Structure 1
Amino acid sequence: MDGHLPLPGASTSPYSVLGNYRVIKNLGHGAFGEVKLAQHLPTGCKVAIKILNRRKIRENGMDQKVEREIKISKMLVHPHIIRLYEVIETATDIYMVMEFAERGDLCDYIMMNQRAQEEEARKFFQQIISGVEYCHKYKVVHRDLKADNLLLDSNGNLKIADFGLSNIMLDGHFLKTSCGSPNYAAPEVISGKLYAGPEIDVWSCGVILYALLAGTLPFDDGSFPDLYRKIKGGMYTLPSHLPSGAKELIARMLVVDPIKRITIPEIRQSHWFRANLPCYLAAPLSDVINQMRKINEEILERVIMMGFGKSFLVQSLEEKIHNEGTMSYYLLLDNYNRANSYYSIELEMYQENYSAAMQIGESSQSAARNSLTGILNHQQGISLRPQPQSQSSERWGLGLQFGSHPLQIMAAVLGALQKLNVGWKKIGQYNMKCRWSPTFNGHTSQIQSTSIDTALRDPSQIDIDLNADILAAVVGQNTVKFELQDFSFVDDIFSKAKLINQDKCRKTTCSRNETSGSRIRKPSQPEIDLPQPADPDHSLLIEVPCRLL
Structure 2
Amino acid sequence: MNLQWSSPVPCIRTGRVAHKRLDSDDQPLAKCARLSAESGDSPGLLGTSPGSPVSPVPVTVPATHQGPSRIGPFLLLPLADREGMHSALNTDTGDELVCKVFDMGVYQEKIRAYGVLPAHKNVAGIRDIVLGERKAYVFLDKDFGDMHTLVKGCRRLDEEQASRLFRQVALAVAHCHQNGIVLGDLKLRKFVFADEKRTQVRLESLEDCRVLEDPRDDSMSDTHGCPAYVSPEILSGSAPYSGKMADMWSLGVMLYTMLVGRYPFHDPDPATLFSKIRRGQCCVPEGLTPKAKCLLQSLLRKDPWERLTASELLAHPWFHRPRSPQEVALGEQEVSLAEQTVPSFDVEEDDDLFC
Instruction: Give me the TM-score of the superposition, normalised by structure 1.
Output: 0.46
| Distance in 2 of aligned mates of 1:165 and 1:176 | 15
| Distance in 1 of aligned mates of 2:201 and 2:272 | 32
Counterpart in the other structure of 1:235: 281
Question: Is 1:121–2:138 an aligned residue pair?
Answer: no
| Map 1:159-174 → 2, pairs under 5 A | 159-169=202-212, 170=214, 171-172=216-217, 174=219
1:190 to 222, 229, 235: 235
Counterpart in the other structure of 2:171: 130
Counterpart in the other structure of 2:128: 86
Amino acid corresponding to residue 90 of structure 1 in structure 2? G
| Distance in 1 of aligned mates of 2:169 and 2:284 | 21
Shift, 1:29, TM fit: 7.9
Identify if the C-alpha distance between structure 1 residues 39 and 185 changes in structure 2 by more than 3 Å, giving closer, same or farther.
same
Identify if the C-alpha distance between structure 1 residues 274 and 236 changes in structure 2 by more than 3 Å, giving closer, same or farther.
same
Question: Is 1:20–2:73 an aligned residue pair?
Answer: yes
What is the SS of the residue equivalent to 1:259? helix
Identify if the C-alpha distance between structure 1 residues 11 and 258 changes in structure 2 by more than 3 Å, giving closer, same or farther.
closer
Identify if the C-alpha distance between structure 1 residues 136 and 167 changes in structure 2 by more than 3 Å, giving closer, same or farther.
same
Instruction: Give me the TM-score of the superposition, normalised by structure 2.
Output: 0.69
Amino acid corresponding to residue 211 of structure 2 in structure 1? I
Counterpart in the other structure of 2:4: none
Corresponding pairs, count = 270
Question: Is 1:95–2:147 an aligned residue pair?
Answer: no
Shift, 1:191, TM fit: 1.8
* CA displacement, residues 201-225 of structure 1 (integer Å, 9 cap, x when unaligned): 1111111000000000001222222
* Segment of structure 1 superposing worse, 250-259 or 5-14: 5-14
Question: Residues 128 and 158 of structure 1 are in contact (CA less than 8 Å); yes or no, is this contact kept in structure 2?
Answer: yes
| Distance in 1 of aligned mates of 2:108 and 2:170 | 26
Shift, 1:87, TM fit: 2.3
Question: Residues 25 and 134 of structure 2 are in contact (CA less than 8 Å); yes or no, is this contact kept in structure 1?
Answer: no
| Map 1:52-67 → 2, pairs under 5 A | 52-54=102-104, 63=106, 66-67=107-108
Counterpart in the other structure of 2:93: 43
Identify if the C-alpha distance between structure 1 residues 90 and 227 changes in structure 2 by more than 3 Å, giving closer, same or farther.
same
| Map 1:225-374 → 2, pairs under 5 A | 225-276=271-322, 344=333
| Distance in 1 of aligned mates of 2:333 and 2:152 | 28
Identify if the C-alpha distance between structure 1 residues 205 and 225 changes in structure 2 by more than 3 Å, giving closer, same or farther.
same
* Segment of structure 1 superposing worse, 5-14 or 66-75: 5-14
Question: Residues 68 and 167 of structure 1 are in contact (CA less than 8 Å); yes or no, is this contact kept in structure 2?
Answer: no
| Distance in 2 of aligned mates of 1:128 and 1:173 | 20
* CA displacement, residues 476-497 of structure 1 (integer Å, 9 cap, x when unaligned): xxxxxxxxxxxxxxxxxxxxxx
Counterpart in the other structure of 2:265: 219
Shift, 1:100, TM fit: 1.6
1:69 to 106, 110, 128: 110
Counterpart in the other structure of 2:15: none
Question: With CA pairs under 8 Å and 6+ residues apart, which has the higher RCO, 1 or 2?
Answer: 2
| Distance in 2 of aligned mates of 1:215 and 1:274 | 23
Question: Residues 20 and 41 of structure 1 are in contact (CA less than 8 Å); yes or no, is this contact kept in structure 2?
Answer: yes
Question: Is 1:109–2:150 an aligned residue pair?
Answer: yes
What is the SS of the residue equivalent to 1:237? coil
More helix by percentage:
1
Question: Residues 149 and 161 of structure 1 are in contact (CA less than 8 Å); yes or no, is this contact kept in structure 2?
Answer: yes
Shift, 1:14, TM fit: 4.5
